[in-house]
Amino acid sequence: MKTEVSKVTTKGQLVIPSKLRRKYAIKEGTQVVFVEEENRLILQPLTPEFIRSLRGSLGKDSKALETLLQERKRGRAL
């Protein structure tokens, strides 16, 4: 496992090292997700490549679309 170090600013901002930004195609405006997992914090860039890699990961029997539509309907009712 390779490591890179960065500091959090007083405003809570974090600089991602340029080597990692290039490797993971993180550009200005790229959204990232912070995932908490077993006492770790994972930063996942939401790049088009990552989104494509998720295709089919839910399987054919997934209820994800149905759940999403129900949540949207419930949100509109509020």
What is the H or E stretch that residue 19 is in?
helix 18-23
- pTM of the shown model: 0.60
Residue pointed to by tokens 């509109």 = 76
Which pLDDT score, from 0 to 100, does residue 7 have? 94
Residue pointed to by tokens 């996942």 = 44
Which pLDDT score, from 0 to 100, does residue 62 have? 66
3-state helix, strand, coil in the chain (%, to 5): 35, 20, 50
Higher-confidence residue of 69 and 10: namely: 10
